[in-house]
Amino acid sequence: MTRPKSIVVLTGAGISAESGLGTFRDKDGLWTKYDLNDVATPEGFARNPVLVHDFYNARRRNLVEAMPNAAHVALADLEQRFDGDFLLVTQNVDDLHERAGSRKLLHMHGELLKIRCEACDAVRAWREDLDLATTCPACATTGRLRPHVVWFGEMPLYMEAVYDALALCDLFVSIGTSGQVYPAAGFVADVRRRGIAHTVELNLDPSDGFSLFAEKIYGPATEVVPTFVERLLKS
Ligand code: OAD
């Protein structure tokens, strides 16, 4: 591998699996136990906010107990030691990248440890359970707070900055994502179309878009990501 000048890394639930956070579509994944239409859409929230709050409260409690793993640490190390442009784009709503030390990071699907008020749009850090009796600390409205996560049918965040970085990168690495959710699933095709960037998939097993990647390495993220980062930094 020749040394790149500009790297974009995309991560998904697979990078946090070995930290004890469930993925969505694997055997025993969250979407095998819950209907995503009930807990991950604005319509589901309008229908049954109690169910949606319970779902995210459980995930928030799980996250607060979890720790970053060797794959998160390797990406933070890459950001620190790489002298070119670097951007980490994550579909994950956990904060394990930040806790491992990543700073050049965009959460395109929002953040579980933040809440947003649907009455005043204020966003703030939040580590506790949320329910219909919670009052917005900014506008004092009760019952209009929601997790600051992107649901199906809503616009992902920071997409302009993400596409700017994808348009410039000469290395695109996709880690721990099944390639089933757009727009992230389309990034590899966007990058490939320009014809100049190397594309790499690191995953437990081939994703839906695996054939679009020039290089593929399969195994647990805690093994394949640190090895890949070391090789990259030596190139
Ligand atoms: P998925 O659950 O769809 O895919 C997880 C991927 O991680 C699979 O391809 C697994 O093979 C892989 N995987 C599992 N364990 C792994 C490990 N230890 N090491 C490496 N890879 C592993 O999760 P995402 O692709 O992130 O969106 O899902 C994308 C979006 O769909 C999520 O952000 C979420 C979900 O619905 C919203 O909620 C809006």
Per-residue confidence (pLDDT) for residue 62, from 0 to 100: 96
Measured by CA distance, the residue closest to atom 25 of ligand 1 is 177
Atom of ligand 1 nearest to the CA of 30: 2
User: What's the sign of the alpha-carbon dihedral 111, 116, 121, 123?
Assistant: negative
Low-confidence ranges of the chain (pLDDT < 50): none
Q: How many whole angstroms separate alpha carbon 159 and alpha carbon 143? A: 29
Hey, what are 12's tokens? Answer: 């998904």
- DSSP symbols for 32-101: HHS-HHHHSSHHHHHH-HHHHHHHHHHHHHHHHH----HHHHHHHHHHHH--SEEEEEE---SSHHHHHT
- Ligand 1 pocket, mutate which of 88, 150, 181 (most atoms under 8 A from CB): 181
Question: Residue whose CA is closest, atom 32 of ligand 1?
Answer: 91
| Distance separating alpha carbons of residues 102 and 75, to the nearest angstrom | 7
Environment class of residue 206 by beta-carbon count within 10 Å: exposed (0-12), middle (13-18) or buried (19+)? middle
Average pLDDT, the chain: 96
Q: Tens digit of pLDDT for each residue in 137-161?
A: 999 999 999 999 999 999 999 999 9
Q: Three-state DSSP class for 154? A: coil
Q: Is 109 a catalytic residue?
A: yes
Predicted pLDDT at 110: 98
- Which residue, by CA, sits nearest to atom 30 of ligand 1? 181
Which contiguous run of DSSP H or E holds residue 215? strand 215-218
Give the Å distance between the CA of 181 and the centre of ligand 1.
9
pLDDT at 78: 98
The DSSP letter of residue 124 is E
Residue-wise pLDDT for 16-32, tens only, equals 999 999 899 988 899 99
Which residues have CB under 6 Å of ligand 1? 12-14, 17-18, 23-26, 29, 36, 40, 91, 109, 150-152, 176-178, 180-181, 203-205, 207, 220-221
Retrieve residue 54's tokens. 């319970």
pLDDT at position 28 is 87
- In this structure, the residue with its CA closest to atom 36 of ligand 1 is 24
Q: In angstroms, what is the span from residue 145 Cα to ligand 1's centroid?
A: 27
Give the integer Cα–Cα distance in Å for 62 and 127.
11
Is 111 in a helix, a strand, or coil? strand
Strands 110-117, 123-125: pairing kind: antiparallel
Residue 176's nearest CA partner among 6, 8, 15, 3 is 15
